[in-house]
Amino acid sequence: MKFQCYTLGCKVNQYETQAMEQQLLALGHVSGTDADDCDAYLINTCTVTAVADRKNRTLIRRLRREHPQAVIGVCGCYAQVSAGEVEALGVDVVSGSGGREAFVQLVLDAVRQKKAGQDAGQQVLLDDAMRRRAFESLPAGSLGTRTRAMLKVQDGCCNFCTYCIIPYARGPVRSLPLAQAVEQARALEGYREIVLTGIEVASWGRDLQDGSTFADLVESVCRAVPQLRVRLGSLEPRVVDEDFCRRLAACPNFCPQFHLSLQSGSDGVLRRMHRHYDTARYLESVRLLQQWFPGCAVTTDLIVGFPGETEEEFAESLAFARTCGLAMIHVFPYSRRAGTPAASMPGQLSRAEKADRSARAVAAAAELHREFLTAMCGTEQDVLFEQIEDGWFTGHAPNGMKVYARGEDLHNTVRRVRIEGLQEEGLRGEICKAAKYVL
C-alpha cells in the first residue's frame, strides 16, 4: 500500500503522526508524495481554533475530491469533538484523539476491502476521552528528519481554561512512566536533539502518584542521553521554581528555551480565562529563568480580543510582555469555541476589533523579537544545523533562535558559531570552532 500522512496542529499531533507512519513503514507499506495517487490518506486533525476546524475540512474535501478511489482516514482532536461533521464529509474511517494503532489497522482493512471490490462502509472508532486513564505509548521519532526527535511524555489536560476545548478532546492527565521515558530516549540513536512534548507537559507525573515531578523527568532524560540536546515543549508558569531551575541548570545538554504560556498580561482577563496564575507569578517565573539561564529565550502565546477585554486590558498585556522581555510571541485572536464557557460570556468583540488588536500585538511582538536577536549579536552559540536554505545552512541555537551560516556539509552537526548580525527571521553567524557537544 502507498500512503500519505497529513498533520494539522501541535507537536503532539506531529509526534503521533510520525508514530503512525513508523507503524505503516514497519509493516512494509510505502510513504507517497503529493505527486502520487496513494491508496490511503491519513489526516491527523486539530481543533484548537475555528480556523483550525476550517483547515481540517478544506484538506479533507480536497483529498476526497482529488482521490475519489482512495481510503481517507481522519483522526485527532477535531474528529474527537466533531465526529458528525467529519463523517458528513464522506471519509472512510473516523477515529478520535486516541487509539492510533487501532485507527491505522482500520485504514489498512478498508484499503484491503476496497481493492477486493468490497464495500466496508464508513468505519467509526470513538471513545469517551474523559474516561481515559492509561497513557498510550507510541514510538518516539520525527517526521522526515534525523536531526530532532519528539518524545511524547504526557497527554490530556485538567486546567479547563474557559476558552479551550482541548481538555474535552484529550481527556484527563496521563503520563508516560519515568523509566519508560528514559528507555525511549536512550533508543533515539542517530538524533541530535530530543523535544519532550505533551498536551500540558508540565503536569507530567500528577497521575502517577509516586511523588515524581516534572523536574525529575527532565533531569533523568538529560542524564540518560548526555550526547543529545534536550528541549521542552510548552510550560505552565507554576512549574518554574528555584528547585526546577537549579536542577536543570546543572544539566549541560539542557536547552534554555522556555515556551511559558501567558495568554494575557491582564490579571482581569486571566481570571476570566480561568488561568491558574496571575501576572506577578508569571513574572516571578520569567525572572527565575533569566537568573538561572542567562541568555535564555522565554517565548509565549497571547490571545487578544477575549470576551470583555477592554482597550486598557489589551494595553496592559502589551506592556507586560515588554516588562518580561519576551523573545517571541505567537499572537492569536480569540476564537469562539462552542461548548466552552467563554463562548457564552458577554462582551464578545467583533472580528474587526480582534483583527486590529492582533495586528498591533504582532507589531509589538516583532519589535521584542528583534530586540532579543540584537542582544545575541557578538555571542557564541552551539548551533545544531538542520537544512540548507538559499545557500545557507540553517539551524537553532540552544535557546531556539534560528541561525544562518556558511560552511561545508554542516547537516546534523553541532558547531560553535559567532553571531555577527540579523538575517531574515533569525541570526547570521560564522563558524568559529568545534562544537561544545561532540556527537
Q: What is the pTM of this model?
A: 0.92
Question: Following DSSP, what letter does each residue of 286-312 receive, concatenated?
Answer: HHHHHHHSTT-EEEEEEEES-TT--HH
Q: What is the mean pLDDT of residues 38-43?
A: 97
Q: How confident is the model at residue 30 (pLDDT cuts 50, 70, 90)?
A: very high
Q: Which three-class secondary structure state does DSSP give residue 267?
A: helix
Is pLDDT above 70 for 439? no
**Alpha-carbon torsion 139, 145, 151, 157, what sign?**
negative
99 and 129 Cβ atoms separated by less than 8 Å: no
- How many other C-beta atoms are found inside a 10 Å radius of the C-beta of residue 10? 19
Q: How confident is the model at residue 142 (pLDDT cuts 50, 70, 90)?
A: confident
Closest CA to 104 of 53, 44, 154, 38: 44
Closest CA to 383 of 396, 399, 401, 400: 396
- Phi, psi of 397, deg, nearest 5: -70, 165
What value does the mean pLDDT of the chain take?
A: 95
Q: Which of 23-37, 360-374, 422-436 has the lowest mean pLDDT?
A: 422-436
Express as a percent the part of the chain with pLDDT over 70. 97
Model confidence pLDDT, tens digit, residues 395-426: 999 999 999 999 888 988 999 999 999 998 89
Q: How far apart are CA 72 and CA 63, in angstroms?
A: 8
What is the reported pLDDT for 77?
Answer: 97
What is the reported pLDDT for 438?
Answer: 46
Please give the grid coordinates belonging to residue 21.
507512519
Q: Residue 220, class by beta-carbon neighbours within 10 Å (0-12 exposed, 13-18 middle, 19+ buried)?
A: middle
Sheet holding 229-232, edge to edge: 174-175, 148-155, 193-198, 229-232
Is pLDDT above 50 for 148? yes
Q: Residue 226, class by beta-carbon neighbours within 10 Å (0-12 exposed, 13-18 middle, 19+ buried)?
A: exposed
Q: Which residue has the higher pLDDT, 437 or 303?
A: 303
Q: How confident is the model at residue 4 (pLDDT cuts 50, 70, 90)?
A: very high
Is pLDDT above 60 for 237? yes
Q: How far apart are CA 314 and CA 427, in angstroms?
A: 30
- Phi, psi of 234, deg, nearest 5: -65, 140
Closest CA to 83 of 56, 109, 120, 110: 56
Cell 476526497 belongs to residue: 64
Q: What is the mean pLDDT of residues 294-310?
A: 98
What is the reported pLDDT for 434?
Answer: 58
Residues in the chain: 439
Model confidence pLDDT, tens digit, residues 247-279: 999 999 999 999 999 999 999 999 999 999 999
Q: How confident is the model at residue 174 (pLDDT cuts 50, 70, 90)?
A: very high
Question: Following DSSP, what letter does each residue of 162-222 receive, concatenated?
Answer: TT--HHHHH-S-EE--HHHHHHHHHT-TT-SEEEEEETTGGGTTTTT-SS--HHHHHHHHH
Q: How far is CA 437 from the centre of its chain?
A: 26
Is pLDDT above 80 for 368? yes
Q: Residue 6, class by beta-carbon neighbours within 10 Å (0-12 exposed, 13-18 middle, 19+ buried)?
A: middle
Q: What is the mean pLDDT of residues 421-436?
A: 85
What is the reported pLDDT for 144?
Answer: 63
130 and 170 Cβ atoms separated by less than 8 Å: no
Q: Where are the beta strands (DSSP E) in 376-436?
A: 380-389, 392-396, 402-405, 414-423, 426-434
What is the reported pLDDT for 253?
Answer: 97
Is pLDDT above 80 for 116? yes
Q: What is the mean pLDDT of residues 76-89?
A: 97
Task: Give, for 168, the enclosing helix (H) or strand (E).
Answer: helix 166-170
Q: How far apart are CA 250 and CA 256, in angstroms?
A: 12
Closest CA to 423 of 398, 393, 399: 393
Is pLDDT above 50 for 362? yes
Q: How far apart are CA 157 and CA 201, in angstroms?
A: 9
- Phi, psi of 38, deg, nearest 5: -85, 165
Model confidence pLDDT, tens digit, residues 371-395: 999 999 999 999 999 999 999 999 9
Please give the grid coordinates belonging to residue 90.
464522506
What is the reported pLDDT for 35?
Answer: 84
Q: How confident is the model at residue 143 (pLDDT cuts 50, 70, 90)?
A: low
Closest CA to 304 of 235, 352, 237, 372: 352
